[in-house]
Amino acid sequence: MTTGQDTGELESKVSSAIRWSAVNSLLQRLAAVGISVLLARLIAPEQFGVFAVALVVLNIVLSVSELGVSAALVRHNGPVGEMAPTVTTLSLASGTVLALICVAGAPWFAGAMGAPEATGVIQLMSVALVIAGATAVPGAMMQRNFRQDHKFYADTAAFVAGTAVAVVLALMGFGAWSLAWQRIAQNLSAAVIMFWLTEDRFRPGWNPVQARALLAFGLPLAGSSLLIFGVMNVDYIVVGAVLGTVPLGFYLLAFNLASWPVAAFSAPVRSVSLAAFSKVREDPELFGRSFGRALGLLALVTVPACVLLAALAEPLVRVVYGERWAPAAAALALLVLLGAVRVALELGYDFLASAGRSRAILVIHLVWLGALLPLLALGAHLDGIRGVAAAHVIVAVLVVAPAYLVAFQAYGIRAGALGARLVRPVLGGVVMVAVVLGVRNVVDGEVLQILAGGVLSCLAYAAAVFPMRHEVLAVLRKRADA
């Protein structure tokens, strides 16, 4: 059983890690926007296209690069000295083998995607797979020990080194190669800092019994990661094939905008959620309660961001991106709803992973992709990019969320209890929508609509969720050394 003191110490560590991760996520994203604008002025658009092809290939392979075994290290509550050497061997071996496959298959990959000039870039970027395998264990130890401050230092070093390499090479006219070398410089810099800051060092080793157990847990997670990549990218293929490249551009913009709440709020929480859930899973009552509490707190900050994006979609797109991008607003509101649901589903993923339910996760994502494919095509034919977005939401809400609820039943988590945690954030969101619509009806000018609607709706939301302030303040005030 987990004692009150243990729970307090865990909450302190989790709170500190979330703060570091949130700061890291915000700064990295703001910096990425700035450097992307600079590089866009230095590198021709067609060279960005070559790099994009290589990046797609790399991201597909990275999703399964360490076979999911590092997650087993994060969720393990006992000493990791015996397990870590086998994890090191598996992650290094898988990264190296996949890198060799990418090098050999690069001409075919690039040709299949219509960009044969991306062959060399793919081969260079495959080095990242070896680096990912080498850093799998240090990264898992940082996550396991809630050392997101160390992750912040590693990411900062990666950004500085990568930016310097990319700018210098871009000025020298290296085009897509500048971006590829940037990625390698980022990975190497982060790896050096991670190894430097991680106290526990593990050499490769081999225990066949542990290897079988690790693969039994990790392979379904690796398969799920590949399926997640498919779920989050198959819509681009459908839109491009059914509607053409112009609607695809509108849809891509809307999807990227709608993903901001996921990146801003889900990423910091996910940096600690697997380890945090794993620490309390031996206490069944606390384990089940921990998911509901985390979901409620996450909804508290996610709902207002999603509502503002959805309710102000049309004026936001026009003001920020210009009139020619206005059609993107048709899909944005629905994709924001999808983003809000994804925040909850990703938290559920980590909860089930901490419980060792990797096969259940794999089945859920197989069902997700299977249900999504036909509905995306139907939605595209019926209502263009808005129909595609609607299909995404329908599958996530009516198929995937219930599947997670079924899996949660074994841990005493019921839909009614989760709904009770979400009542105030959802009620606050409804009030925000009403306020924004009211403002848009009485205020002329899109900039004024955004400013007035944003300020007044946030005030209304704060009033609706005011009784939950103590939970938020408790998280913010916790200190890792408490």
3-state secondary structure 310-371: HHCHHHHHHHHHCHHHHHHHHHHHHHHHHHHHHHHHHHHHHHHHHCCCHHHHHHHHHHHHHH
| Residues ≥6 apart with Cβ < 8 Å to 1 | 282, 283
What per-residue confidence (pLDDT) applies to 482? 40
Using an 8 Å Cβ cutoff, are 347 and 298 in contact?
A: yes
- Do 211 and 257 have their domain in common? no
Give a yes or no: residue 128 inside a domain: yes
Strand ranges, E, within 218-276:
none
Domain hosting residue 104, numbered range: 43-222
- Do 104 and 189 have their domain in common? yes
What per-residue confidence (pLDDT) applies to 364? 93
Number of structural domains in the chain: 2
- Do 216 and 105 have their domain in common? yes
369: Cα separation from own chain's centroid: 18
Regions of the chain short of the pLDDT cut 70 = 1-11, 14-15, 17-18, 22, 29-30, 32-34, 36-37, 40-41, 44-46, 48-49, 52, 66, 113, 469-482
- Do 252 and 299 have their domain in common? yes
Give a yes or no: residue 38 inside a domain: no
Using an 8 Å Cβ cutoff, are 187 and 99 in contact?
A: no
Give a yes or no: residue 30 inside a domain: no
- Do 104 and 174 have their domain in common? yes
- Do 174 and 280 have their domain in common? no
Give a yes or no: residue 131 inside a domain: yes
- Do 104 and 84 have their domain in common? yes
Q: What is the pTM of this model?
A: 0.77
- Do 217 and 259 have their domain in common? no
How far apart are the C-alpha atoms of 262 and 349, rounded to whole Å? Answer: 14
Give a yes or no: residue 4 inside a domain: no
What per-residue confidence (pLDDT) applies to 29? 66
- Do 245 and 334 have their domain in common? yes
Residue closest to 303 by CA, chosen among 269, 273, 334, 341: 341
Give a yes or no: residue 22 inside a domain: no
What per-residue confidence (pLDDT) applies to 431? 93
456: Cα separation from own chain's centroid: 30
What per-residue confidence (pLDDT) applies to 370? 93
Using an 8 Å Cβ cutoff, are 362 and 393 in contact?
A: no
Give a yes or no: residue 24 inside a domain: no
- Do 212 and 244 have their domain in common? no
Q: Which of 170, 190, 222 is the last residue of a domain?
A: 222
Using an 8 Å Cβ cutoff, are 40 and 61 in contact?
A: no
pLDDT tens for residues 339-366?
Answer: 889 989 989 998 998 888 888 999 999 9
- Do 455 and 352 have their domain in common? yes
Can you read off the two tokens belonging to residue 351? Answer: 């909860």
Give a yes or no: residue 72 inside a domain: yes
Alpha carbon separation from 239 to 245, 251, 351 (Å, rounded): 8, 8, 33
Can you read off the two tokens belonging to residue 11? Answer: 């909450």
Q: Which of 165, 194, 222 is the last residue of a domain?
A: 222
- Do 55 and 93 have their domain in common? yes
Q: Which of 222, 244, 274 is the last residue of a domain?
A: 222
DSSP annotation of 10 reads H
DSSP annotation of 169 reads H
